[in-house]
Amino acid sequence: MTSKTIANGILRAIGVLAAIFIVLYFLWQIQSVLIYLLVAMILTLIGNPMMAFFKRRFKFNNIFAVIATLLIFISVIAGFILMSVPLIVNQGQNLALLNTRAIEENITQLVTQITIFLESHNIDSSQLLKANVTSKLNFNFIPNFLNAILGTLSSFGIGLASVLFITFFFLKDTNLFINGFKEIIPDAHEEKILNSLNKINNLLSRYFIGLLIQLFIIFILYLVVLLIFGVPNAFVIAFLCAVLNIIPYIGPLIGSVMAAILTMLSNLGNDFQSEILPTTIYVMIGFWIVQVIDNNVSSPLIFSNSVKSHPLEIFLVILIAGFLFGILGMIIAVPLYTILKVIGKEFLPENKIVQLLTKNI
């Protein structure tokens, strides 16, 4: 091996690394566009069964089926905005105008009541609460944070319009994209690849529709619990806690803690032992019952039927993805695992493990 060959190899390696860096940097710079594309693809998967229904039931042609599907998406999004944003904006304006000193005093009052309650039951509060916890917190971030959220509404509008625009063409020109894709894939694997895409499209469509159904059921149950115990802004709290269920296992825990904190803060001024604590405990018990129902009834039924996987299989996949890639891994674990199963069934049909995992697909 000559020095010239070594030098060329080094230069080639440097060139490859530089190209990879440039591509990664470019993708990082357009991450918003990639997010728009991902959301649009999810909406397309959800919208495909709707389009098929409009074509079959109402004899719509392709363009009218696309428009009808987008109108459903827009109506649902507008409904959530009309119901939730006014409440959020109202609370945000109230807190933005509120003296942060008053917020600190409310938190201090809550901590004091908890301390008195613990000490009255011979529990050393110093082991559970730091007496000077509020002195270490800077509450000035609250108005600024809320104002920042309100300031991002215009950006959200641009993103929403972009996603709907992309979704329109994904739905309208699906066959065009498929025909174009056929031109670039190898003829030897064309049938397997197209079969994989059809199965992936079907299973992921069922998965995301099932996810929406699950979140809606959880939202209704959370709302019922909060309304029973008279928690203010029950709709917003139930909606936020339901959305957090997108994160498997961790999301419900975060939502329960958030609901408990908001319940306690909304009852400040009442007696801690006779009102605040019982109400919070009842809400937590209600949320726990909702999670029992979801984990043992709705989730197994919905997801087992949508992605054709055993509940234990789904649990292990989510758990492994969480250990390896954190929260993001837990969110994308089931869709990605479903894609890998379909690909394995098409390209490795003789493998015993693949046969065992994909026998229901």
Tokens of 107: 């938190």
Q: Does a structural domain hold residue 291?
A: yes
How many Cα atoms are found within 13 Å in the side-chain-facing hemisphere of 71? Answer: 8
Q: Are residues 116 and 197 in the same domain?
A: no
Domain co-membership, 194 together with 334: yes
- 296 and 232 in a common domain: yes
Pick from 319, 322, 308: nearest CA to 357? 308
247-255 contact pairs (CB < 8 A, 24+): 247/327, 247/330, 247/331, 248/318, 248/322, 248/330, 248/331, 248/333, 249/318, 249/322, 249/330, 250/322, 250/327, 250/330, 252/287, 252/291, 252/294, 255/222, 255/287
In a domain, residue 207? The reply is yes
> Which of the pair, 128 or 206, is modelled with greater confidence?
206
- The range of the structural domain enclosing residue 111 comes to 101-138
Q: For residue 55, is it within any domain? A: no
Instruction: Assess whether 221 and 320 both reside in one domain.
Output: yes
Which residue's entry shows tokens 């039951």?
121
Last residue of a domain, one of 138, 166, 198: 138
Answer yes or no: is pLDDT of 62 > 60.
Answer: yes
Residues 109 and 210 in one domain: no
Please give the single-letter amino acid code of residue 192: K
In-domain check, residue 4: no
Whether 196 and 117 map to the same domain: the answer is no
Structural domains counted in the chain: 2
113 & 209 share domain: no
224, 361: one domain: yes
Instruction: Report the candidate in 14, 357, 49, 60 with the shortest Cα–Cα distance to residue 203.
Output: 49
| Element containing residue 68 per DSSP (H, E) | helix 62-97
133 part of a folded domain: yes
Q: Answer yes or no: are the C-beta atoms of 274 and 267 closer than 8 Å.
A: no
Lowest-confidence region among 61-70, 73-82, 129-138: 129-138
Mean pLDDT of all residues in the chain? Answer: 78
Q: What is the pTM of this model?
A: 0.71
Question: Alpha carbon 120 to chain centroid distance?
Answer: 42
Would you say residue 311 lies in a domain? yes
Question: Any alpha helices (H) in 274-310, and if so which ranges?
Answer: 277-293, 299-307
| Same-domain status, 334 and 195 | yes
pLDDT at 83: 65
The reply to whether 361 falls in a domain is yes
Residues 328 and 202 in one domain: yes
pLDDT at 233: 75
Under 8 Å between Cβ of 43 and 70: no
Higher pLDDT, 288 or 6: 288
Question: What is the DSSP annotation of 100-126?
Answer: HHHHHHHHHHHHHHHHHHHHHTT--GG
Does residue 316 share a domain with residue 210? Answer: yes
| 217-247 pLDDT tens trace | 999 999 999 999 888 778 878 888 888 888 8
Residues 132 and 261 in one domain: no
Q: List, for residues 96-139, the tens digit of each pLDDT value.
A: 444 455 555 666 766 777 777 777 777 665 655 554 444 445 55
Is 328 within the bounds of a domain? yes
